[in-house]
Structure 1
Amino acid sequence: MSPSQDTSPAAPAYPIGSVDKALRLLLLVSARPTGVRVNEASAELGVAPSTAHRLLQMITHHGLAVQDPDTKAYLPGPALLKIGNSREQCVERARPVLRDLADETQETVHLSVLEQSFSVTLFTAEGPHMLRVGDRSGHAIPVWMGAMGRCLLFDHDDAAVRELLPSGLRGPGGAPMADALIEQLHSDREHGFAHHDGVVEPGVSVAAVPVRGTLGTVEYAIGMTYPTSRVPAELLPSAVTKLQAASAAITALLPR
């Protein structure tokens, strides 16, 4: 294929004009960080200002745009940001931050996301020690079993947590698992991080913090996994501080 050959997708045989204009408007809004005004949308789409205004109101109604009350320009809305903030983008942007974190802590670190009732590892940056936790990319564990899963539930209220767990699930001593998890989550939120020793694997500990998206909601979690004997309790606060700094760095890199 020659470099000059047009590789753009062919236009549909039976285009729908209104849909085409709405999609072009979404692309326009997403491409202009300073916002799009009605007259600009009108000129770009080749429609009357009244039509452009109705289209902007419609995408705003669905959360795809928001209007700045001062400038009256339309900016990307929460629904559009959520579409753009894909996992692939997050992993790509978080990768150097996590590698730096692994170098700084000298331990393996992971990035995870919530899928139904599981914490799924998206990316692992391994630490340099010969004795270390390896790459867990693609590995899934129930959210109630570890620190990273609990961080992914920081925004869930008690009812949502109960709904997420299988009915009848019991914890140590036969108590309902949901009760124990909710109590632990209250403590984790207060401290801003989660931690466990030997829950998933004997002799392995995890310290984790949530990663919030540009809208302030928890979208991911990052965690440091390490042999329990290598990081004594008195060094945990320092590790958590490094995790929180990395979390903030990842949030700053996510699409806005």
Structure 2
Amino acid sequence: MSEIETKKRQYSAPALSKGLDILELMAGQFEGLSLRQISDLLGRQKSELFRMLVVLEERGYINVLPDSDKYIISMKLFGLAHQLPDIKRITAIAEPLMREFSNRSEQSCHLVVERSSEGVVIMQKDSPSDQRFGIRIGAKVPLQNTCSGHVLLAFADENSREVMMDGIPASKHLPENVLADICDRVKAQGFENVESQQIAGVKDIGFPIFNYSGNVVAALVVPYLSHLDNTNAMDFDSVKVVLGDIAQRMSEQLGYNENK
């Protein structure tokens, strides 16, 4: 056994590992899990898990669903992640600009960042219109077949793009020539403009958000809804222009200077 492996064994924390196992399991279970289900899925005794669940509930990391014996993960971890300086700054700058966009265009918009080779929605602004479409904050979206994913991949530097793609299961990879064509097209036009592959009738528009170093840090996306009664406050092309302006202002407030 190597010295590193020996130290890992010396400093293991079984209780902490158990708690993390529970949180990681529950992160993908939107309908909740009972103690028995958690026990079966983790292969652990109910007695050793029960106390962990009590503590996690007391600390606000999980909740018990009303009139149920099922536990569900809370938004506390998401809230803690939002306290990271970069995310906190991005959302603070984005909030008034996204609100301005939604009020002007009467379209919803959301902000997506890349984490562990997935897109994560960190902010959402609903349209003031009665007819609207939105996406849940904290939702994860694939990079390879979404508007936000195309933007994040296209404007990433080559090394970052390789790291993103390495984290995607090989079975879900796009052929290299297809990915290259998408990235070249999106980067050349400065935005993505594509029919949603998740929701019929929605056309997505996405622009990159850059930081002071010129690195892409987020994608600002509108799932454009075209009203059949022609009551849209703005047509598609007008929304694209306004969204591009909002994205540019957001980047500038993050310190980006395209002339540097």
Structure 1 contact 85–255 (Cα < 8 Å) conserved: no
Alignment of 1:21-32 (within 5 A): none
Query: What is the match of residue 38 of structure 2?
Result: none
Deviation at 1:108, TM superposition (A): 0.1
Deviation at 1:167, TM superposition (A): 1.5
Alignment of 1:69-84 (within 5 A): none
1:123-142 Cα distance to aligned partner (Å, 9 max, x none) = 11111222211242111111
Q: CA RMSD in A?
A: 2.8
- Percent identity between the aligned chains? 19
Deviation at 1:255, TM superposition (A): 6.3
Q: How many residues align?
A: 168
The one of 158, 163, 166 equivalent to 2:166 is 163
User: Helix, strand or coil: the match of 1:143?
Assistant: coil
- Greater shift, 199-208 or 92-101, is seen at 199-208
Tell me the distance in 2 between the aligned counterparts of 1:115 and 1:99.
24
Query: What is the match of residue 43 of structure 1?
Result: none
Alignment of 1:54-65 (within 5 A): none
User: Helix, strand or coil: the match of 1:181?
Assistant: helix
User: Helix, strand or coil: the match of 2:243?
Assistant: helix
Amino acid at match of 1:169: K
Query: What is the match of residue 118 of structure 2?
Result: 118
Deviation at 1:206, TM superposition (A): 1.0
1:67-122 Cα distance to aligned partner (Å, 9 max, x none) = xxxxxxxxxxxxxxxx9851012101210000001111110011110112211111
Tell me the distance in 2 between the aligned counterparts of 1:184 and 1:134.
25
Query: What is the match of residue 243 of structure 1?
Result: 243
Query: What is the match of residue 16 of structure 1?
Result: none
Does residue 1:193 correspond to 2:191, yes or no? yes
Deviation at 1:181, TM superposition (A): 2.5
Amino acid at match of 2:171: G
Tell me the distance in 2 between the aligned counterparts of 1:236 and 1:196.
12
Alignment of 1:18-97 (within 5 A): 85-97=85-97
Query: What is the match of residue 9 of structure 2?
Result: none
Query: What is the match of residue 219 of structure 1?
Result: 217
Question: 1:214/1:84 Cα in 2 relative to 1: closer, same or farther (>3 Å)?
Answer: farther
Structure 2 contact 147–196 (Cα < 8 Å) conserved: no
Deviation at 1:243, TM superposition (A): 1.4
Deviation at 1:198, TM superposition (A): 2.9
Tell me the distance in 2 between the aligned counterparts of 1:156 and 1:253.
22
Query: What is the match of residue 66 of structure 2?
Result: none
Amino acid at match of 1:127: S
Question: 1:235/1:185 Cα in 2 relative to 1: closer, same or farther (>3 Å)?
Answer: farther
1:15-55 Cα distance to aligned partner (Å, 9 max, x none) = xxxxxxxxxxxxxxxxxxxxxxxxxxxxxxxxxxxxxxxxx
Alignment of 1:3-14 (within 5 A): none
Tell me the distance in 2 between the aligned counterparts of 1:201 and 1:117.
22
Tell me the distance in 2 between the aligned counterparts of 1:238 and 1:144.
27
Instruction: Kindly name which structure, 1 or 2, has the bigger radius of gyration based on alpha carbons.
Output: 1
Question: 1:249/1:128 Cα in 2 relative to 1: closer, same or farther (>3 Å)?
Answer: same
Tell me the distance in 2 between the aligned counterparts of 1:228 and 1:164.
35
Tell me the distance in 1 between the aligned counterparts of 2:225 and 2:238.
16
1:175-199 Cα distance to aligned partner (Å, 9 max, x none) = x444322211111111000022131
Structure 1 contact 112–122 (Cα < 8 Å) conserved: yes
Query: What is the match of residue 11 of structure 1?
Result: none
Query: What is the match of residue 180 of structure 2?
Result: 182
Normalised to the residue count of structure 2, the TM-score between the two structures is 0.57
Q: Which runs of 5+ in 1 are unaligned?
A: 1-82, 171-175
